[in-house]
Amino acid sequence: MMLPPALIGIGFSKRGRNGFRLWFPFVLLWPLLFVVFVVAFAIAIPLSIVVAPWGYARPVFLFVPYVWRALSATRGLEVDVAGEDGGFFVSFI
Amino acid sequence: MTEEAKQVLQMVANGTVTVEEGERLLEALKAPTTPKADDEPQEKGTVRMPKYLRVVVDEGKQKVNVRVPVQLIRAGMKFTALIPDNAKGDVEKHLSEKGINLDFNKLKPEDVDEFIQSLSELQVDVDDGEKATVRVFCE
């Protein structure tokens, strides 16, 4: 099963100053996230039946699992930008 | 006698290699060509799936290092399935106006896998010598 990132790191640095890096334990939000997605999926099922005559059943039904998949796929994403005026750092672990 | 063995004997006769070297070459020719454990996947023709797409830009004082999981690219491409059938035509029309000819009906999961697999061979190195170095590769 694909799981969302457990840790999210965000960092900033400004010219001539020591920056900071904050590591947020995203794993603590997993239970809440799981509930939100289950509820959203539970809503999406009847909604997809309602919108089926207009041809939107498939996108509505698949939206929640696809968002979960995309969120889980962010594990390993890392952006590190350092310039003269400062820097920026984001990491999903 | 194989052609290679004849060539080795010819080299010994010409004095290009010594008798001992020739003997070693002949033994090497006789040795079975079993692949090493490390080479096995490549020998069998299986391509290693890349895990990350990496973009590294070094412009002196400015540096950019981006690591994108291939799974994220795959997940992003799957989002095309969310485009309603009646909207696909409009999207394709706008894309073709921008010079991108894409037929969503022809985009299949196998194509996505093939695209991801082909990324493993991707390597772009741009080095203008003075200003910046850009590297795009998979790892």
Q: pLDDT-based confidence at A32, cuts 50/70/90?
A: very high
Contact at CB, A70 and B72, closer than 8 angstroms: yes
- Which range of residues forms the domain containing residue B18? 3-33
B74 and B119 fall within a common domain: yes
| CA gap B55, B134 in Å, rounded | 7
pLDDT digits (tens, 9 = 90+) for B59-102: 888 889 999 998 898 888 888 778 877 787 888 888 888 888 87
Do B25 and B47 belong together in one domain?
A: no
Q: Is the ipTM of this complex over 0.85?
A: no
Among A73-87, B47-61, B96-110, the range scoring the smallest mean pLDDT is B96-110
The count of other CB atoms within 10 Å of the CB of residue B12 is: 18
Q: Write the pLDDT tens digit of every residue in A45-59.
A: 999 999 988 888 888
Domain count, chain B: 2
Structure tokens at B50: 């890349």
Interchain proximity B84–A84, CB inside 8 Å: no
- In a shared domain, residues B47 and B29: no
Predicted pLDDT of residue B105 = 72
Cβ contacts of A73 on chain B, cutoff 8 Å:
69, 71-72, 74-75
Residue B38 lies in a domain: no
Judge whether B48 is closer than 8 Å to chain A, CB to CB.
no
- DSSP one-letter string for B88-128: HHHHHHHHHHTT----GGG--HHHHHHHHHHHTT-EEEEE-
Q: Mark whether B51 and B105 lie in a shared domain.
A: yes
